[in-house]
Structure formats: structure tokens, C-alpha cells
Structure 1
Amino acid sequence: MDISTLLIFVPACFALNMAPGPNNLLSVSNATRYGFRRSCSAGAGRLLAFMGMIALASAGLAVVLHASELLFYGIKTAGALYLFYLAWQLWRAQPGGEGAPAQASVGWWRLARQEFLVAAGNPKAILIFTAFLPQFVDPNRPMAPQFAVLGALFLVLEVVAMAIYSWMGARMRHWITQPRGKRIFNRSCAGLLAGAGLGLLLSRRS
């Protein structure tokens, strides 16, 4: 893998990382409610899910997902239902209860699990890894080391994107000081998450 390939891969990959998908929206919401540091650390769940997807793409196991329509739609439906569940939780959240005591009661594990399930419940992500990463792999060289390098770069750029979205959420946290403003923000995020779930539910295999 030469430098010219990486110079093309990095900006193209970062564009995918920065796309306003469900996980990035979740980072904004978590940062608004629990702070920048908690939101960023919870992103470890997302990274774990993506590591598994990259491993599947590298091993060629994602071909099973391409071949099995039932498996694809099963994962997709589960992922969409979970997004609807998160949207419902946000819609019903009480803005007055988002102070320090509420932050302390929501553990890192719960937020990281949310990030993991949102990422893992999107089978299109596996297909992106299967279709996107191989474009930058030289078939005349060993495949595994190239996938390892590309996968590591993807995860690093994902951390950068996650930090940017969390920072945006933390800034909004200072702006939204009144219960009414928090309620509007929560319900806006709920609507966007529900829209993402609907889009996932209606999506087709490429």
C-alpha cells in the first residue's frame, strides 16, 4: 500500500466518519446530557462494534450477509426497533432531571452499550466495510496487513469524528439551560433517531 493510496483513502474515509448517522447523533445527545468526556468514552462501544465488522470484512465472512436476505433484514429490523426505543426514551425524558444526580446514575457501561447496539444493529455498516475498504487493497500484496492498516485508520478517524460531534453536543449543553430548551432539543434528537430508524427499516441491500 503506497502513500498515494492513503492520500485518497483518508479524506474519503473521514467523509464517511463525519456523516451524521445514528451513532454521531447519539454522541451529540449524550454530550448534551452527560458531558463531553462521558460521551467520548461511551464511544468505545461503537469502536468495538466497528472492529468486529472490519474483522468480518477482512475474513470475507460478510459475504454471508450479502447472500442471506433473511439475516440482513433480521439485523436491520432489530437495529431499527432499537433506534425507535432510544427515540421514545429521549422523547419522554424529563429535562428537569438532567442535572448532576442524573449524570451520576447513568453509568458508562449503559451509554457504551447503547453505542455498540446502534452500530451493530446497522447491517449496512458491514456492507460499507465490505465495499469500501477493498477498493484500497492491492490484490498483489498480502491482504490481512492492508486491511489491518485501513481498519486502524478508519477507527482513528472515527475517534476524531466522535470527538467533534461530542464537542458540538457539549457546546449545546451550555446554550440549552432552560427546561423548555432541553425538552425541544431532546424531542428534536428523538425525531432524528426515529427518522434514522425508519430510513434503516426502508433501506435495501446494495
Structure 2
Amino acid sequence: MELSTLLLFIPACFALNLAPGPNNLLSVSNATRYGFRASCAAGLGRLLAFVGMIALAASGLAVVLHASELLFHAIKITGALYLFWLAWQLWRAEPAVGEEKGDTGEAGVLRLARQEFLVAVGNPKAILIFTAFLPQFVDPARPVAAQFALLGALFLAFEMVAIAIYAAIGSRLRRWFAQPRGKRIFNRACAGLLSGAGLGLLLARRA
């Protein structure tokens, strides 16, 4: 792969990683409720989902999503409903219970990672990004699999940075919303944003 291609890919890719979205919002919320480390660990669920999407894009199977309107709608409706459910859970959450240490053990982190995973796989636009974005930087005259592997590895590395950045933002906000009333306000604000993301997903159309 040409160095000039990588120099074009890196800033464009990092901009996508840093763009606000359901998963990044979830990182902020998790850091505010459970701390920086728990939020970063939960982000591994998102990375696992993206590994699968990159593999689909590299194998060409993701083209099925372009071809099947029914599949696209099924994924986006399921993803939107899950975002609405998460928003409802946040809205009803009691901030004074289980948000400092009780839910940050292995079982708690696995639960948060599962949420990150499901939010990622429930967003068909994420698959479309890998299908439409990554191939633009692949030279068909060279080994395609190796190029997808390199671009995918860079995307995942930048995604880890984005997870840490949003988790750090959440950690800072955690200090501002230290009291139960402040936590409740923040949780409900996040619930509103997640609901908005779910609505946006319902309105999304295939490119």
C-alpha cells in the first residue's frame, strides 16, 4: 500500500472514530457511572463487533446488506429498539446504588461490554461504513486481504484511542455530577441522547 494512501486514510479514519455516536455516548455514560477503567474495558465489546464487520467487508459478504433492504431494516429496527431500552434503563437508574464499585467487577464489565457489542452490531450504518469507506483505500492490483488487515488494524487502534478519549470526558463529568441529584440529571440527559440516536437510526436509509 502506498504511503500517500495511508496519509489520506489516517485523518479520515480518525475523524470517523471521534464522531459522536451511540457507542461513544455509551462510553461517556459508563465512565460517569462506573469510572474510566470500566468504560475502557467495556469498549472491548465494541471492538469485537468491529472486527466482525471488518471481516465481513474484507470477504465481500457485507454487500448483502446493500442488496437486502429487508435485512437492513431488520437490523436498524432491532438496534433502535435496543437503544430505546438502554435509554429507559438509564432514565430509571437509581444513581446512588451500585455505581461506584459494586458493578465494576468482572460480571459488571462483561455486562457493559455486551451492551457496547450489541449497540455496535445493531447499527447497520457501521457495516456500511466498512463496506463503503475502507474499500476506497484498497488497491485491487495488490493483495486485498493484507490491505484490509492493515486498514482494519489502524481503524481498531484509532477506535481504542476514541474510547479512551470519551471515557476520559465521562470521568471529568463524573466529578461535576458527584451528587445523586446531579447523576440523575446526567443519566436522564444521556437517556434523551440515546433515544435521539435510536430515532435517528429508525430514520436512516441505505446510501
TM-score of the aligned structures, taking structure 1 as reference length: 0.97
Amino acid in the other structure paired with 2:142: R
Comparing 174-183 and 100-109, the one that deviates more: 100-109
Would you say 1:11 and 2:11 are equivalent positions?
A: yes
Equivalent residue, structure 2, for 1:81: 81
* Distance in structure 2 (CA, Å) of the matches to 1:123 and 1:160: 23
1:126 and 2:127 aligned: yes
Please report how far the alpha carbon of residue 103 of structure 1 lies from its aligned counterpart in structure 2 after TM superposition.
4.2
Q: Which amino acid aligns with 2:170?
A: G
Which stretches of structure 1, 4 residues or longer, exceed 2 Å deviation after superposition? 98-106
- Note if contact 2:35-2:100 (Cα within 8 Å) is conserved in structure 1: no
Q: Structure 1 175/140 Cα, relative in aligned 2: closer, same or farther at 3 Å?
A: same
How many aligned positions are there?
206
Q: Which amino acid aligns with 2:86?
A: L
For the residues of structure 2 that align with 1:61 and 1:106, how far apart are their CA atoms?
33
Listed as ranges, the matches of 1:159-170 within 5 Å are: 159-170=160-171
Q: Is the 8 A contact 1:33 1:103 kept in 2?
A: no
Task: State the alpha-carbon separation in 2 of the partners of residues 135 and 105 from structure 1.
Answer: 40
Alignment of 1:14-25 (within 5 A): 14-25=14-25
Deviates more, 1:93-102 or 1:14-23: 93-102
- 2:69, 2:104 → 1: CA distance? 41
Superposition deviation, residue 100 in structure 1: 2.8
RMSD of aligned residue pairs (Cα, Å): 1.1
| 1:201 alignment counterpart | 202
Deviations 1:85-111 (A, max 9, x none): 000000001122133335459611100
Distance in structure 1 (CA, Å) of the matches to 2:134 and 2:86: 30
| Aligned AA (1:20) | P
In 2, the alpha carbon distance for the partners of 1:106 and 1:32 equals: 18
Q: What is aligned with 2:71?
A: 71
* Percent identity of equivalent pairs: 76
Give the superposition deviation at 1:165.
Answer: 0.1
